[in-house]
Structure 1
C-alpha cells in the first residue's frame, strides 16, 4: 500500500488567497459594498446560503454606518462573529434588551421602559472570549455606531436563511446612544 506523507505548512493570508482562488475555501471578508456604507445606513451582504437540501442556513456580512437604534428580535437563534483584520473603524455597539421581546413590548405599552432595561455593548473585535456568540431567540437587540467620520464597522452573522425580524413598536419612545 502506498503511503502519502504530509508535512504541515504555516497558514498565511497568501496561502488562503490561493485556496480561495481555487474555490476550495471562502474567507470571511467584507465586500466593497459593506465597507463603503453611506452615513445613516446599513448594508447586508449574503456571503453564502446553503442548499435547501442540507438545511436552510446562510452567512451574512453587515456593514453599519448608522447611529439610529430600532429594536427587534428573531424567532430563532443567530450567531455573531465579530472579527476584523482589515481596517480600523468607528465603534460597533450592540444594544441588548435585558428581557425578551414580549416583556419589552409590554413595558413600552405600559410606559415603564427605561435605560435599565438594556445594556449597550461596546464591541471589541477579535477578542477570543467575546467575538463569537449566539443571540438567542426572542432577545431584543440592535446594532449601531457613532455619527461622523470614520470607517464603518462590520460583522458577520450566521442565521437561518429565512429568519424574520420582529420589530418592537416603540410608540413614543426613542432609544439613543
Structure 2
C-alpha cells in the first residue's frame, strides 16, 4: 500500500520512466520513445522516482510520539479548533474516505492541511453524538468513531516529522467489522 501511495505521488513521466526501466528493464532509449523525452531526461525522471521511494522509507516517529500527535488531532477535532488542526497537519497532507458505496464518504481525497482541517472541523459540528476513541489501527495509533456504542468509522494516520501527512477514513461497514462492538 505504501508503495502505491509513493507511485501516486510521482508525476506520470516519473512513474512511467521508473516502471519501464527499473521494473520491466527497458533501456532508456526505449523509454524515451514511449515517454516522448530524451533518454537523458528519462534517466533523470527514473532517478527522481527512486529518490521519492527512498525518501518514503524515512525513519518512523516512535509510537509514543505518533500517539501524541493523533491524540492532539482528536482533541482539536472534537473542539473544532481549525488552527490547532492546521498545526498538526502537513501542508501537503491528504485525507481519503472509503464508504465502499454503502455509506456516505467524501467522493474525492481532501488535499492540503488547511482543507483537511476545515473538513474535520465541519464534521465535528455535525456529529455531536459520536464518541472518538484512541485505538491501534493497522499496528499504529489511530482513532475509532462510535455512535451509540457502534463503530461507524476507523481512522488510520501516517505521521512524519511530528505532522500528519495522510489520513485514511474507513467508513465501509464491511471493512470496520474488526472494530465493531456488541
Query: What TM-score, normalized by structure 2, do the two folds share?
Result: 0.25
- Structure richer in helix, relative to its length: 2
Report which structure shows greater RCO (CA 8 Å, sep ≥6).
1
Query: What TM-score, normalized by structure 1, do the two folds share?
Result: 0.25
- Structure richer in strand, relative to its length: 1
